[in-house]
Amino acid sequence: MIEELAGQNTDNLLDKEVGEYNNLVTLESLEHVRLRPGMYIGRLGDGSQSDDGIYVLFKEVMDNAVDEHLAGFGNVIEVTLVDNVVTIRDHGRGIPLADVVNAASKMNTSGKFDSSNYKGSVGLNGVGLKATNALSEFLVLQSFRDRKTSIAKFERGKLLGETGIIDAPEGADNGTLVSFKPDSELFKHFAYRDDYIEPMIKNYSYLNTGLTIIYNGKKYKSTHGLADLVNDYMTNEPLYPLIHFKDKDIEVVLTHTSQYGEEFYSFVNGQHTTQGGTHQSAFREALSRTIKEFYNKGFEYNDIRNGMVAAISIKVIEPIFESQTKIKLGSTLMYDGGPTIYKFINDYIKKELDNYLHKNQEVADVMLKKIIASEKERKAMAGVAKQARENAKKVALHNRKLRDCRVHFNDAKGERRDDTMIFVTEGDSASGSITKIRDVETQAVFSLRGKPLNSYGMQQRIVYKNEEFNLLQAALNIEGGIDGLRYNKVIIATDADVDGMHIRLLLITFLLQFFPELIKTGHVYILQTPLFRVRNKKEAKRKRRGGKKEAGSNKVETYYCYNDEERIAAINKLGDNAEITRFKGLGEISDDEFRDFIGPDMRLDRVTLRKEDAVQEMLAFYMGKNTMERQNFIIDNLVLEDEEDITK
């Protein structure tokens, strides 16, 4: 090839030989963030889900403020959130005044590349604030240092203006103020939700016991660290007092409850690693091994961890996360040249927990009783479970009940893909509609037959004896715990009528009883489908006759309404031309219409489980045997809609 080129004019070589390279483009760093936001914040979303990008933007700025506290500067962070505008003011050292513009706009610009400045920091790549800036409608960054200040204002990552170094207001503390609003061009119809922001604020306070966070005027401060977190997150009473250990680079809390499954929370440098990682895996194994060796019995690890609620927080120098969103730790070493994370955690748990159990015999006895009970129940179910698995094979689960998706895992890592989901529907009509227009790569459909059993108060063996529950469990692959879950989202898709609501309630009761960790870890959702379709009846009539609008379009002005407020607004827009259809079941919605309702902009409500929900009391009242009491409650609180209101 080289010889052939000798003496030739090669100016147009690329055009002739490899034309696909003609359009090489070099983007400015923040332009790339806007073009490929998923690389930096995961998904976009509208704020209706906890992993939507607007919460990542919030977290990136909060992480910087908390890092200043961790470095020993500033014990108060003030946060306000009004009309989707976030303002965060820390009282740390402040950004060097000459570098304010670069700190918000030049990728890989950071004071954290030297780990000696920020030991145990979570933000080390110089990306977070820049990503927030690029994806915000506006961002204002102000730094205060030594009675001087500097302000820079940006719009969608582009600098609008800066003040340079000027005198700070009288009495202003050192620190940094960031104010921003996510870009509505990217985050369509977004809104921050307090039920996602408040847990983030609480976590920051739990993990930094000397820190006070003031959020919209309310103070959050923790005295007992991870123990406060576990107490707040537990929805069942502990069987014994919380076991709590704390050292310079590690903090651990654990107990057992009467619930099924296991519940683990893990943190690295104050970052909530919702997908775990090397530290959480090491923690689970270390607990299991230490407890097994203490009792010197052949317990299985699943029996030891059944009902366990535990949390771990470690500090790692220059941690390696598996993405910019920092929800899974990939590091294997505590620091360069130091011990492995596995050895560090295992040695610590072995020493502290073994000593504790020897010194606290009452706690050890209660723990042993719980493990033996779990083992006994598992063995009692062994025969039932085996038969249930055989039954699942006989009914050809993957053909009769489950229309599976093609892809479950990332090829590179063998991990469950974030975009996988399964719709749990009622009857063949609804499942048929979804099946026809779903994304077969990532969307599966499981069809229920009739109403599920009310499982409240029953033992776990009912999961295996009841065909519908057994097959659903097999489809999800959660018999051995949620580590084997095949789909990231389990979406309950039932009709918006009384029967549909009842089926939804029975399914949630089943999950609350036997797989609460599935809900607590954010995998269970309710699909919201429209209750009404309001469209222009003249245009619809013209289209049915094959005619066209004067403007040349054959599209009918249509509004899908999820509540009465949206219905009334749509009727007001169309006036006398409004044609109203009430959807009573998923099977009534045409395939083409359904396509949008389970697409990228589908409306999902996450099912949450919090201590203040008083779930056990609620289940006992609504799903228990107190029939007359519940009946009287319904009669006393029954509200009949006026017929005239429905047709307005």
DSSP 251-307: EEEEEE-SSSS-EEEEEETTEE-TT-BHHHHHHHHHHHHHHHHHHTS---HHHHHTT
**Does residue 77 come out as left (phi exceeding 0), alpha (psi in the -120 to 50 range) or beta?**
beta
Element (H, E) at 479: none
**Rounded Cα gap, residues 131 and 31, in angstroms:** 10
Q: What is the CATH number of domain 226-378?
A: 3.30.230.10
Radius of gyration over every alpha carbon of the chain, rounded to an integer in angstroms: 28
> % helix / strand / coil in the chain, to the nearest 5?
40, 20, 40
Task: Give pLDDT, residue 203.
Answer: 93
- The contacts of residue 265 (CB under 8 Å, 6+ apart) are 229, 230, 233, 272, 310, 311, 312
Separation of alpha carbons 304 and 368, rounded Å: 9
Distant-in-sequence, close-in-space partners of 398: CB < 8 Å, separation ≥ 6: 404
Q: Where in the chain is the domain with CATH 3.30.565.10?
A: 33-220
Nearest to 239 by CA among 255, 261, 219: 255
Instruction: Encode 143-177: b = buried (16+ Cβ within 10 Å), e = exposed.
Output: bbbeeebbbbbbebbeeeeeeeeeebeeebebbbb
What is the reported pLDDT for 599? 83
Backbone region of residue 323 per phi and psi (left: phi > 0; alpha: psi in -120 to 50; beta: other values): beta
Gap between the Cα atoms of 508 and 514, Å rounded = 10
For tokens 């009841």, the residue is 466
Residue spans in the chain of domains classed CATH 3.30.230.10:
226-378
Least Cα distance to 440 among 402, 484, 491, 485 occurs for: 402
347-364: string of b/e by CB count within 10 Å (b at 16+)? ebbbebbeebbeeeeebb
Pick the CATH number of 33-220 from 1.20.1050.10, 3.30.420.40, 3.40.50.300, 3.30.565.10: 3.30.565.10
- Please state, in angstroms and rounded to a whole number, the distance separating the CA atoms of residues 458 and 377: 13
For 548, other C-beta atoms within 10 Å of its C-beta total 12
Q: Which residues contact 129 (CB under 8 A, 6 or more apart)?
A: 60, 61, 64, 103, 104, 141, 178
Q: What is the 3-state secondary structure (H, E, C) of 162-208?
A: ECCCEECCCCCCCEEEEEEEECCCCCCCCCCCHHHHHHHHHHHHHCC
Question: How far apart, in Å, are the Cα atoms of 597 and each of 93, 402, 591, 604?
Answer: 48, 20, 10, 10
pLDDT value for 324: 59
Structural element, H or E, at residue 48: none
Question: Which residue in the block uniquely carries the two structure tokens 């004896």?
Answer: 465
* Angle value at C-alpha 165, between 164 and 168, nearest 5 degrees: 125
If we measure between CA atoms, which residue out of 173, 172, 133 comes closest to residue 155?
A: 133
CA dihedral 66, 329, 290, 241 (to 10 degrees): 40
For position 314, what pLDDT does the model report?
Answer: 94
Nearest partner of 430 among 354, 487, 495, judged by Cα: 495
Say how far apart CA 639 and CA 621 lie, in whole Å: 20
CATH of domain 395-529+605-637: 3.40.50.670
Mean pLDDT split into 10-residue runs, the chain, 648 residues: 38 43 59 81 83 91 92 94 96 93 78 51 64 94 95 94 93 95 92 92 92 96 94 92 94 94 90 88 95 95 94 90 76 86 95 97 97 90 69 55 81 70 83 85 88 83 80 85 87 85 90 89 89 86 63 72 90 90 80 80 84 76 79 76 45
Which residues, other chains included, contact 359 with Cβ-Cβ below 8 Å and sequence gap of 6+? none
Q: Is 457 left (phi over 0), alpha (psi -120 to 50) or beta?
A: left
Beta bridge partners of 167: 148
Strands (E), 494-594: 524-528, 532-536, 558-561, 578-582
CA angle 589, 593, 594 (to 5 degrees): 70
Give the integer Cα–Cα distance in Å for 162 and 139: 12
Residues in the chain, how many?
A: 648
b/e burial code for range 61-77 (CB count within 10 A of at least 16 → b): bbbbbbbbbbbeebebb
Beta carbons of 158 and 123 less than 8 angstroms apart: no
Around 303, how many Cα atoms within 13 Å sit in the side-chain half-sphere? 19
For residue 122, the model assigns a pLDDT of 52
Output the pLDDT for position 117. Answer: 52
